[in-house]
């Protein structure tokens, strides 16, 4: 069989995967904290019919003669660039301006997220949409007492509110939103629901204490806003057209190879 036919098949499979990645990006264009994906291709092992030779006294060198055998997926990367800000005027909606990720507790496991659409449960704990506790710099869940008023969260993550004690208003600020800095964000494992898990290549496990916003390279907290997806629709539609045309071109390779094989079969009539 012709090698070009198998090259065309590999190209079709790769562009189908590229279309899957682009489709997922577009589907999450309005998902808070979503980070877009990007696919990169590599050529496959080339078949060598003649190796290279060095120049001699009476003859120059010869380059190798190789025929490629198609393409393969080199990587599917997660691009952790800053998403645009959407004002919500809801105090418990938090956005990280800069590096770092929120840390949430799921049982005994600590997970990461950039989506800051938090709320309070009946116990006054700050939780995600799935009920996971948001942790402070000490690795403890953040609690707002029942009856607290004038809740505010500062850029350094400090949580403040007003409580009435015997008719006297008292300002309270004893916890700060904790952030975790990831050495290699691209190495994180996506779990769905805007959550990530650290891996062996992301740069270390989540410790008992977390970084204070604005310190140690961590970004600052913006209350009353959400970080939206970093997906650019114009870019994604362009990539969609590229994937479509690439897939179409590879089908032409298979069609042409099939016609050549048909001519070979018809040599003997």
Q: Where are the domains of the chain?
A: 3-46+67-80+231-265, 88-223
The CA distances from residue 201 to 91, 143, 184, 198, 253, in Å, are: 35, 33, 7, 8, 38
**What count of Cα atoms within 13 Å lies in the side-chain half-sphere of residue 169?**
7
Residue 14 and residue 241: Cα distance in Å, rounded?
14
Q: What would the pLDDT profile of 76-89 be if each residue is shown by its tens digit?
A: 999 999 999 999 99
Q: Which of 83, 220, 91 is nearest to 157 (CA)?
A: 220
Phi, psi of 250 (to 5 degrees): -70, -30
Q: Which of 3, 22, 76, 2 is nearest to 246 (CA)?
A: 22
pLDDT at 267: 85
Contact criterion met (CB below 8 Å) for 184 and 166: no
**pLDDT digits (tens), the chain, 269 positions:** 578 888 999 999 999 999 999 999 999 999 999 999 999 999 998 888 898 999 988 889 999 998 988 999 999 999 999 999 999 999 999 999 999 999 999 989 999 999 999 999 999 999 999 999 999 999 999 998 887 888 899 999 999 888 876 656 666 667 899 999 999 999 999 999 999 999 999 988 898 899 999 999 999 999 999 999 999 999 999 999 999 999 999 999 999 988 888 888 888 76
Is the whole model's pTM more than 0.85, yes or no?
yes
Q: What would the pLDDT profile of 136-151 be if each residue is shown by its tens digit?
A: 999 999 998 887 888 8
What are the residues facing 47 on neighbouring strands?
67
pLDDT at 237: 97
Query: Can you read off the two tokens belonging to residue 193?
Result: 């629901």
What are the residues facing 77 on neighbouring strands?
38
pLDDT at 264: 86
């Amino acid at each position: 069989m012709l090698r070009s036919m198998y090259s065309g098949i590999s190209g079709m499979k790769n562009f189908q995967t590229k279309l899957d990645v682009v489709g997922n990006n577009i589907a999450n264009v309005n998902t808070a904290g979503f980070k877009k994906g990007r696919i990169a291709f590599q050529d496959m092992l080339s078949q060598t019919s003649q190796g290279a030779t060095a120049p001699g006294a009476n003859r120059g060198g010869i380059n190798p003669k190789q025929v490629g055998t198609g393409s393969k997926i080199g990587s599917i990367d997660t691009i952790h660039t800053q998403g645009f800000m959407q004002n919500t005027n809801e105090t418990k909606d938090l956005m990280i301006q800069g590096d770092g990720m929120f840390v949430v507790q799921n049982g005994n496991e600590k997970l990461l997220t950039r989506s800051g659409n938090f709320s309070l449960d009946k116990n006054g704990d700050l939780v995600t949409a799935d009920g996971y506790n948001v942790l402070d710099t000490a690795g403890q869940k953040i609690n707002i007492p029942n009856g607290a008023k004038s809740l505010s969260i500062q850029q350094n993550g400090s949580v403040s509110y007003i409580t009435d004690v015997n008719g006297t208003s008292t300002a309270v600020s004893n916890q700060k939103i904790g952030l975790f800095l990831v050495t290699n964000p691209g190495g994180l494992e996506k779990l769905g629901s805007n959550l990530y898990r650290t891996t062996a290549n992301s740069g270390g496990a989540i410790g008992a204490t977390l970084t204070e916003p604005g310190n140690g390279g961590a970004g600052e907290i913006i209350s009353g806003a959400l970080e939206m997806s970093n997906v650019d629709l114009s870019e994604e539609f362009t990539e969609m057209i590229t994937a479509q045309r690439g897939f179409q071109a590879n089908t032409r390779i298979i069609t042409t190879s099939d016609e050549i094989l048909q001519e070979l079969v018809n040599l003997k009539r």
